Structure 1
Amino acid sequence: MMPKRSVVGQPSSAKYHKLTRTGGDGYIDLQFERPPPKIPYKAILLATGLFVAGSVLIVVGALLLSGYISPQYSDRTWPVLILGALMFIPGAYHVRLAYYAYKGYAGYSYEDIPEFE
């Protein structure tokens, strides 16, 4: 069955109220205000952790590769370097996004960083 349409002149059950107008164009200024940015602290902390851990692993892998760390651990060189790169790249990218958003550079905002909630 089709729902009934209300006829003009008949009161409907919906409650409406009129918005106050501030100008002649029908828009109010509150429509265009952006809420303050929500800073994703958990995501920034995770990105910082990935950046630091990846940096440490890359340094350790470079020391293993160059021979400054005992050659008996040479079988661990490439896995440490690869894991360090996999952690460093996304960590450095998101830390850079957070820094640019903090400094207020054009085109960067905290909304570019994914949240984990």
Structure 2
Amino acid sequence: MVPTRTNVAAGIPSSKVKYSKLFSTDTGHLHLRSHLLKFKKSSTKIPYKAIACAAAQFLIGAFLVIVGCLLLAGYISKVGANRAVPVLIIGILVFLPGFYHLLIAYRARRGCQGYSYSDLPDCDE
């Protein structure tokens, strides 16, 4: 039995790999213009209403978190934790989705892989 060479990466014996001869005019270089046309960014509709809602949630939530912290620390008034904690909790609950959706919109705008405007909620209904 004669040992055969195998392609380590694919685990295919070299006797089953098919090769093709290059054309004599092929220089091995890619024509970038023809390849770049394939990868044009598709024009997607930017959901401005969803981004505006996310920005409003972010700002209102940040305001409520700051006010809740100031109430808890006693800088605004001496109401104590019984009024400060609910303001703080509501602020966090409003802030987090706004921050998350603004982050998605930012990364979609920059073209990061895995992020698109379709990930944002649809506010056009």
Aligned equivalents of 1:35, 1:66: Cα separation in 2: 50
Alpha-carbon distance in 2 for matches of 1:109, 1:88: 21
The equivalent of 2:50 in structure 1 is 43
Cα distance in structure 2, aligned partners of 1:97 and 1:47: 10
Counterpart of 1:98 in structure 2 is 105
Q: With CA pairs under 8 Å and 6+ residues apart, which has the higher RCO, 1 or 2? A: 1
Structure 1 stretches lacking a partner, 5+ long: 1-32
> What whole-Å deviation, never above 9, does each CA across 1:82-115 have from its counterpart, x for those lacking one?
1101100100000000000111111111111011
Which residue, 42, 50, 63 being the options, matches 1:56? 63
- Indicate if the aligned counterparts of 2:61 and 2:94 stay in contact, CA closer than 8 A: yes
Name the aligned partner's letter for residue 40 of structure 1: P
Cα displacement (A) at 1:72: 3.4
Structure 1 residue 75: deviation in Å? Answer: 3.1
The answer to whether structure 1 residue 109 and structure 2 residue 109 are counterparts is no
Please, what TM-score do these two structures have when normalized by structure 2? Answer: 0.63
Residue 46 of structure 1: how far off its partner (Å): 0.2
Asked if 1:71 corresponds to 2:78, the answer is yes
Over 6 Å off, 4+ runs: none
What is the root-mean-square deviation of aligned Cα atoms in Å? 1.7
* Secondary structure at the counterpart of residue 95 of structure 1: helix
Residue 73 (structure 1) shift: 6.2
TM-score after normalising by structure 1: 0.67
